[in-house]
Chain A
Amino acid sequence: MYELKGEDLSKRFGELKVFSKLNFDLHTGESMAVIGPNGSGKSTLMMVLLSIYRPSKGKIAYLLDGKEMEENQIRASVSLVSPYLNLYDQLSGEENLKFFATVAGENITGKEIENLLEKVGLAGRGMDLVGGYSSGMKQRLKYATALLNKPAFLYLDEPTSNLDAAGKKIVADLIEEYRSQSIIVIATNEEEEYHLATKQLRVDK
């Protein structure tokens, strides 16, 4: 059983206060929608949770069966889909997936890559360079990449941005599939996405 705890989390950039005193406690099977207006710090909170930024105050704990996880364990268990995260335009979809699987220490077969691409609606497009993908296709490929390590902690920042109706359905299905085995944190402005999560955390200055 995985657990993600945030205690009195605050973040400032110099004089600029982004958010303060956020508290939450999530277990495997739970999901949380981080909501708030534009500029309220939802994406910053994601970066803090992923240790890209350090919190100005407070503590984040990743736990496995009640024991704090080590840095390498955490890295192997988290995945992010975000507008700030890009894949390599000069590599094909398959090459991107193979590269990220290898650097994450995962062995992945051609069949598994095909299955992942099919799952996100990119079947038959794996050999194309990502630079030639539409923004929606790139977003789908980010999902395929995020699922490579079967994440125990799945972070989704604006999860349906650039996606058409079919893409949004795929995302909803993926969240449903991973809900029971992962902790999912979703940062969104879209009210129709609030229901994708079981809890809500309002972020505001």
Chain B
Amino acid sequence: MDKRTCLYDKHIGLGAKMVSFGGFEMPIQYTDITDEHLAVRKACGVFDVSHMGEVLVTGAEAERFVQHIFTNDVTTIQPGQILYGMMLHETGGTIDDLLVYKEAADRYFLVINAANIDKDYAWISSEAEKYDVKAENQSEYYGQVAVQGPDTERIVESVLGLACKELTFYTFKKIEVGGEVIIISRTGYTGEDGFEIYGSHAYIQQAWDKLLASGEVKPCGLGCRDTLRFEVGLPLYGDELTDDLSPLEAGLGMFCKLDKAEFVGKEAVARQKAEGLTRKIVGIELEGKAIPRHGYEVVVGDEVVGHVTTGYNSIMTGKSVCMALVDIAYAKLDTPVQVRIHRKLHNGIVTKKRFYQKSYKK
């Protein structure tokens, strides 16, 4: 039985089409994926992302512990800053990708994927036994909305009354509102400017209602969340990162700081880097409009050389494009490849994974 977020009744009220995602019953679209996608690219959209998990790590050794479980280097940021990175198995495979919010050297807020909450929290808790830290799963407490698009800053300030102008990309602050402390960060998963807001269920329900009542914000489902993140080359755990795939193979090596003293999986990743990869996630652009989808074969000659991880007809460019995991011999830019779509092979070429430019406000 799937869980429901604190905004479930709102989705039903809006007539959303609901699907199962990461153990939650979530809206995939309210009206149409393309319309919702365009709203975020051109104006403002709001997503229910209350399914995401939150883990608070506190204690004297919090920093040393986060350095141990996280691939990026949190000693390089100040309180109020955020880093993206991964938690890895010893094999270098990815347990999850996550955001780490540094509140203080002894207090970190981790935001993890819905589908991985149980797995992550079990692993974090077991690793935490060796440290003077407390790791608390706060996923049930927090609701979360992502407000995304070029008009977001003005709308969050005027409609929600949250002062957010001074927040730069990947920073956050806590604000006291009506007796509770909410968290707002300049982050997102769409390639557009925007904010993510964490608060109690009551606060998030109220924020949702205000945003929709303003008439300036379109409710957006997970369908366009996926087309938006894909178009700017952002990975989705389960597609471009898995227990079996390392960040290096996903082209995310920049988030693994091998100059750190240690982190779980560091040796495996360092070995991959030294010995060279055998496969890699690439972008592929196809001729024609046929749509490559997750699992479809990438073919060179008679040989299957990889599989599509995510693919769409890009809403902004109209081109059929995909990310795919391919043998390293075919990972170079401009390599001609084919993708088997239904019964036919379609010609394509290896490209960068970014099919549309991000427009973050830095």
Q: Do A and B come together as binding partners?
A: no
